[in-house]
Structure 1
Amino acid sequence: MADALTGKVARRLLPFLMLCYFFAYLDRVNVGFAALTMNRDIGLSATAYGLGAGLFFLGYVAFEVPSNLILERVGARIWIARIMVTWSLISASTAFVTGEWSFYLVRILLGLAEAGFFPGIILYLTYWFPAAQRAGIVGTFMMAVPLSAAIGAPLSGLVMSLTDGWLGLAGWQWLYLLEAAPSLALGLATLFVLTDRPERATWLTDEERAALIARMVEDHRLRPGRTAHLGDALRDPRVLGLGLVYFGLSTGLYAVGLWLPQIVSSFGFSTTATGFVTAIPYIVSAAGMLAWTRRSDRRGERVRHVAIPTAAAGLALLAASQAGTPLLTIVALSAEALGVFAALPTFWTLPTRLLSGTAAAGGIALINALGSLGGFAGPALMGWVRDATGRFDDGLAAVAVVLILAGALVLRIGRHTERDTVDAGRIPHERSIRRGRPRSAGWR
């Protein structure tokens, strides 16, 4: 019954959550495509574009922890709906920026509006799925990101090419307006689709609801070393360390993601062709992400399943900085994207093993907030290097070093956490529990 129940819950929640995240990510990064002509139209330099693209994350960070604490208090249904409606309206307003200062303002407001969406969903999933299944569940949910980029990249290129000049608006303006509309509709639908907690799941039978509640209580009992108080979580050096790891992953994700259309365009591709070529790294990543997270669940191991692809992504980015030809550059950037996307879902199983209750709401938000600063630093660094040298190579190499250091830090945090967890009560390893054989293990 357990597998059937998990499947029923997943079928109810994941497709809708993935669709929401698909458009959330699209609204966040379509600025990379808009920049192909927007920068010229409103007079943005590479430095100004990189700064503005990254300013999204300063607004995002500022409201991250409060947003997640509000979600914990009022419920996911209302709060996720609020987030999606406000971000869609602000994203659409980007169509009317006229220069660098209005661009900066809209990007900050967009970050404030979207703050709490992703960590809120990560927290929400902990209400419904036990830790042993969480990497695969989070991996399935996060497939929305590479799918959003893989589908959104050619779609964005086509929208800009086909709508340029309609009603006196440029193609990049139509891009913002048309791609914000689904987020608005989904935000309103959230009020009717999501259920805050298992106790309120009227779409489960009484037996299924009782079984799910009992399973989540047992999952919490098996992890007695977790921090439950917000103050302790915010002072825990492991939480801060995980924030630094996520900083590295976010730097690698957005330094490439927000500049990839311009990197590809610099090879001489048209706007439409740039869309299709830009999709290649994300098509590769979607399949690799799912396979890697399922491998992590099967083996019951987390730390190395984050560290290895993170460091590999850094090495791939070093290769991209030295590639020299369009083909080798795209291959190396595809390998970098595969590494980052493979690491991300399993990474988010680590804080939920440390934290519970209000500590989980605040701690997950803090990790996401600290890490999201990488979303500011990466694009801004790439823009500065582009203006200073006329090339992207040195910026890619600098981001590569950040990723490699993040991979090493995961291993260090994992060793410390394993020792602390063993001292706290020698929590049984997940695979041993499923097989009925107790075994002492730490956070793996």
Structure 2
Amino acid sequence: MAHHSPVNPESSGHQPRAIIIGGSLSGLFVGTLLRQIGWKVDIYERSTGDFDSRGGGIVLQPEVLEVFRRIGINKHRKAWGVPSMDRVVLDRGGNIRSRRYAPQIQTSWPLIYGALKSAFDMKHYHQDKTLTHVEQDDGLRHVTAYFEDGSEASGDLLVGADGGNSQVRSQIWPSQLPGYAGYLAWRGLLPESAMTNSMRSELHGNFGFANNVGSHILGYLVPGAGNSIWPEERLYNWVWYRVASATLLEQVMLDRDGRQRAYSVPEGRLAARWRDYLHKEAGSLLPPQFQEIVRATDAPFVQAVRDLAVDKMVTGRVLILGDAASIPRPHTAASTLKAAANALSLADALQANTTDIDAALASWEPRQVAFGKQLLMQGMRTGKLLMFHQA
């Protein structure tokens, strides 16, 4: 493991500079870690607003806690989320089919995002910056990003941390595109205080599951408004995987305003007919507890489950990481983990090769590509089993 105290960035006469495209979790993981080892870092994010309202639960992984440790965010582990005790599988009637003691902590996207932003110098976080293209000099030692508003930014390294539909990836590796896995993830967040006793039966405080033909649902408690982890202030996060043809996918992605979306419809934007559809389907496929939870959720949202694992993550001084490089299926609980792991190992490699960025990238890339492919295969195997009952 590399030594993690900050290097003297002036020791080589030049403080290296990173341009990061994408200001979500991947961009903030890598941005905070590179600053910690003495780099100048600027993050360029295309959205204009704050991401804080984005819902969704995340299983808290050791890699995320390691990023927090290195960048000096020291809270007690319990403050990062909500514990669950047992993994409980319900049958169609709502009775326990299996129970296994497996304590873990579930956190939320806004909590991690807010913590990372608090550790980053926001003078260097630029919003409303849509990338148009990237150029490298002839010696591949310098890279420049060009933006829609006519501005540009140059540095020693450009990191594409711009998600599953990465602009950086589409320019450098245009043939590397995510593929649809054949099923959707319907999602919802229900205030814990709105959960009735019958909803709580066997699910509250546990990590709950239920399977049916072409259907797999799970749920657990996550931090609530203002990242509160206090009882009755939390949210119940559920994810319901359903097999869906490409035609159905296209219909679901037509949002309430008539806008055709590619792979996800966020909270509050789903066309009204799909709530009725979910309620009906819940009645025929889910145990009573999950039926009630789905029907009580005001604003469900949805994402297509997609597959991606690139063969290359580096060209010259441009690299991609996080979901820009590989999209693990949600069953792996590894999307946030992988973004953090990519960023941690990049910081280690750059710190071990302070005078040779190219050598650092060459040592970093192979293992990260292999990790992405490993997670892809793991997710595909799990999905086949859960959704299509194929070993």
Give 1 or 2: higher strand fraction.
2
TM bucket normalised to smaller: 0.3 to 0.5
Structure 2 length as normaliser, TM-score?
0.32
Give 1 or 2: higher helix fraction.
1
Structure 1 length as normaliser, TM-score?
0.29
